[in-house]
Structure 1
Amino acid sequence: MPNKGLNDPHIHIFNDTAYVYASHDKSIKNRKFIMEDWWVWSSPDLVNWTKRSVLNPKDTYIGQDFTRCWATDVAYRSGKYYWYFSEGNQQTGVVVGDTPVGPWKDPLGKPLLTSELTPTDEYDMAVFEDNGEHYIIFGVWDYYIAKLNYDMISLAEKPRKIIINNPRGPYNQDGKNLEKPTDDKPFVHKYNGNYYLSWGCFYAMSDNLYGPYDYKDSVIKQESFAKGYDAPTWPNGFLQGRHGSFFEWNNQWYYTYCDISQTGNRYFRDTFISYVHYKENGEMATIRVDGVGVANYKANQKIEAEDFFKAEGIKKQESNNGFVIKTIDNKSYLNYTNVTDIENKSKLIIKAKADKGAKFSIKILKDSLNGELIGFKTFLTKNSIDKFSDVTLNLRKLNQTENIYLIIEQLTNNQLKIDSFSFSK
């Protein structure tokens, strides 16, 4: 959604639809942060988005026009959706609705998190669900966490400070800035038993939600950027201002975050989405920042297998040059949506590897798992286990843009690894 000013994105999946709850920079002419309302947009595929809901501060306890409608997050419980919002950098309120897009009511008529609650500022919250319980995390430089009551509009406990060992941040890249060790906009997600506390593109890990957390890394590095996406950026460099969230959908993980490389104005931000891949030690690999985005594929370029939109029966695996996918069930599939410039392609070339003597079948379908068959091949691997080789499938005539499914069947109960694939004439 270029040039809309949608920023501070939190994406959640409800009813197999992606919803982004976000702040809204008013104009590309802004010379300071002017944010007059909050937005909800939705998408069936992370590519095509529709604005669904606007929350005006007049319809909350704020009760008047307001230009500091800062970051938000949402949670679902027992048929209700709870949308939390920042009153500038001071307090946090909440509205509730019966659908992911409202209509919204302010059930408290006052802030949920008040400015005197903790030594930090009570804004830029995240809400995290774990084992049926919900927690709210908030603050700047130091973060606090508290369990929410079942009503989702009151605290079940006094907020606790989260300890982060050896933190870094956009203002503290060498670890020496004790006054500003992290940033604002905390977020928490969980993967494979580990808790990840992030602030922008920096993150720490713990085996306990309450911490302590050990700082690990930033998911954005200089090598992240495609040409034309590394500048312009914030006064403290490309690591600053990357407010956002991590989310999972269809067995794929993503990071959505703020960017100003295309607007050139730090007060009128875009939202980007990148794939997230986890290393064997649980740390996150460096992401890619480009104009292709996610769930979008170009048939004139190599497509990395791990960058799927949907998948079942597969697992990502760290490799020498990044990541590959491997089959873990006798039948599995990979889905790549919005494959463009494909109408003149007649071959699909897959970089694959398996044990010598393993036998597989691969079907290529359009639009769904029961869609039209456009390619098929059964093959026996003849190469050594350590070598990726080309597996070529002939394709039937295609349209300019297609939704492609790869159906893989292990005929000899051996795993197949796929590094990437490409199309040719």
Structure 2
Amino acid sequence: MTQANPTPFTTAVGKIPPAGNPLVAHKFGADPYALVFDGRVYLYMTNDVLEYDADGNVKDNTYGNINKIGVISSDDLMNWTDHGNIVAAGPEGAAQWATQSWAPAAAHKVIDGKDRFFLYFANNASGIGVLTSDSPTGPWVDPLGEALILRSTPGVEEVTWLFDPAVLVDDDGSAYIYFGGGVPKGKDEWPDTARVMRLGDDMISVVGEAVPIPAPYMFEDAGINKVGGTYYYTYCSNFFTGERTAGSPPAGEIAYMTSDNPMGPWTYHGSILKNPEHFFGVGGNNHHAIFAFRDAWYIAYHAQTLSKALGVSNGYRSTHLNQVVFRDGAILEIRADYDGVGQVKDFDPYVRTAAATMAWSAGVTAATLVSNEDPSGSVVALTDIDHGDWIALSRVNFGEAGASSFQASYLAEAGGAIELRLDQADGELIGTLRVPSASEAAWTEAKTQVAGAQGVRDLYLVFKGEPGAKLFKLGYWQFGE
């Protein structure tokens, strides 16, 4: 039986309604890269995970154990679906030759009439690998069995860090990869460590020699976009503390250059995004990706806002979104904030929705579990559900007639209930789905009637049960009209 809780629901941390940033609060995700496909934007992120010392205290992020890439997606830029982690490197990874998977870049190209997807990643700073798939969410395989770009690649001999790729597939189908970084001693103003190189038609080979990009005070984080006939190369400036050349980017900011050719020559213009310290009071490196979605431009970038809210801002980063404006060939200065971007369409509650889809959350996590109810054989489920935890969806359109039922798939543990509430965690109750306890792990579907869900409202799924017990795991849900 559900017991009363002196605190009716868990408090949100990091992402507070109605804010849009950071994008998710149940996990970290750094170095974001965007791929838009079939009406959704997919964000691929370095999978920051808390590291602990021998006494159980959170220590600084060493990045040395990161061998997975996180993936989230959205078709409205407010409600995000967690697709789990790509095991990219390491003994269990797709690319077993690699030890780390940092700063991914994704691309799509139609080859022989088929959609093909390519995921480029940095094996620490020593080379760049590539994975391929028939879907933006995988499964992914390593087509080469080794790095795509190595120290032996022509034109990279003087590059300090072989990492941080960005990829452009041009209008004519030709493709280019941008990468590099680092500051050789005494070369803070002109590190000469940024490169661009042609990709082969197969997207898994390189052609010719890598060409330098003369980016002033370059540090890391390649970005590339084509707007009209102009190519925009963007990057993060280094942290040189001496006197900087007039007109150069300040430390740790995103700057840009332009060209009328994807291989250059390039013209430097200036800085467009200050360091996260300026906006959020917590600094660190600056990493971004600019993308177009539904007739507008956006920038994905990371900041240590979630880790700051958790009291462990030791280099653990979260992805954010803000809008980008191009005007008369220039990129206007971007303002980062917690508000984020406007939701571009209402959420449809009448389609089967992965439970790890949320605008806001409190207390829960997500994990990939075996499930025979999904064609892939697995599901990214909502997990670690305790009494009072919740998830919320923004701007859910129930329509004029409204919803009459709610159903969900779950893996019962101690059991409990899902309370369906409107606009806030203790808002109007429109229905309750009971989840009985179970001694054996088996996915089950249940259904309940609802009333009062009409129009466009925020939806909260509030989980209730025995305090101190894990209640259940949630796979999918759907309303009925």
State the TM-score, normalized to the length of structure 1. Answer: 0.61
- Does residue 74 (structure 1) correspond to residue 95 (structure 2)? The answer is no
Q: In 2 relative to 1, CA 283–338 (structure 1 residues): closer, same or farther, beyond 3 Å?
A: farther
1:9–1:245 contact (8 Å) kept in structure 2? yes
266, 284, 306: which one pairs with 2:331?
284
CA distance in 1, matches of 2:123, 2:295: 35
1:294 maps to 2:341: yes
Q: Is the 8 A contact 1:187 1:245 kept in 2?
A: yes
Instruction: Provide the C-alpha distance between the structure 1 equivalents of 2:305 and 2:83, rounded to a whole number of angstroms.
Output: 26
Classify 1:104/1:263 alpha carbon distance in 2 versus 1 (closer, same or farther; 3 Å).
Answer: same
Amino acid at match of 2:79: N
1:242 is aligned to 286
Deviations 1:327-385 (A, max 9, x none): xxxxxxxxxx9569xxxxxxxxxxxxxxxxxxxxxxxxxxxxxxxxxxxxxxxxxxxxx
Query: Pick from 46, 68, 79: which aligns with 2:77?
Result: 46
Give 1:61 deviation, angstroms: 3.2
Cα distance change, pair 401–224 in 1 and its aligned pair in 2 (3 A): farther
The 8 Å contact of residues 194 and 218 in structure 2, kept in 1 or not, is answered as no
* Misfit runs of 4+, over 4 Å: 221-225, 337-340, 397-402
Cα shift at 1:54: 2.2
Deviation at 1:55, TM superposition (A): 2.1
Of 207, 215, 226 in structure 1, the residue corresponding to residue 260 of structure 2 is: 207
Deviation at residue 266 of structure 1 after TM alignment:
4.6
| Cα-to-partner distance string for 1:120-139 (whole Å, 9 max, x where unaligned) | 13211111111211111110
Does 1:270 pair with 2:318?
yes
| 1:175 counterpart residue number | none
1:32 is matched with: 61
Determine the structure 2 residue equivalent to 1:158. 209
Q: In structure 1, what residue type is equivalent to 2:151? A: S
Distance 1:196 1:108, change over 3 A: same
Count of equivalent residues: 280
1:189/1:197 contact within 8 Å kept: yes
SS of the equivalent of 1:263 reads helix
Answer yes or no: is the 8 Å Cα contact 2:197–2:263 preserved in 1: no
DSSP-derived class of the 2:331 partner: coil
Letter in 1 for 2:204: I
Distance in 2, Cα, partners of 1:15 & 1:399: 25
Counterpart residue number, 1:134 = 175
Q: Indicate the RMSD between aligned Cα atoms, in angstroms.
A: 2.6
- One-letter code of the match for 1:207? D
State the SS of the aligned residue for 2:326.
coil
1:346 match = none
The structure with higher relative contact order (CA 8 Å, sep 6+) is 2
1:9-43 per-position Cα deviation (integer Å, ceiling 9, x unaligned): 01111111110111111117341333231122111
1:123 aligned to 135, 143, 163, which one? 163
**Structure 2 residue aligned with 1:304:** none
CA deviation map 1:181-200 (0-9, x unaligned): 21111111111221111113
- Asked if structure 1 preserves the Cα contact closer than 8 Å seen for 2:44 and 2:105, the reply is yes
Cα 1:72/1:9, change in 2 over 3 Å = same
Counterpart contact for 1:59–1:105, Cα < 8 Å:
no
Percent of aligned positions that are identical? 27
* Residue 159 (structure 1) shift: 1.4
Question: Structure 1, unaligned stretches of length 5 or more?
Answer: 168-180, 235-240, 298-336, 341-396, 403-425
Superposed counterparts of 1:369-384, under 5 Å: none
**Residue number among 96, 119, 122 corresponding to 2:132 in the alignment:** 96
CA contact under 8 A between 2:40 and 2:74: conserved in structure 1? yes
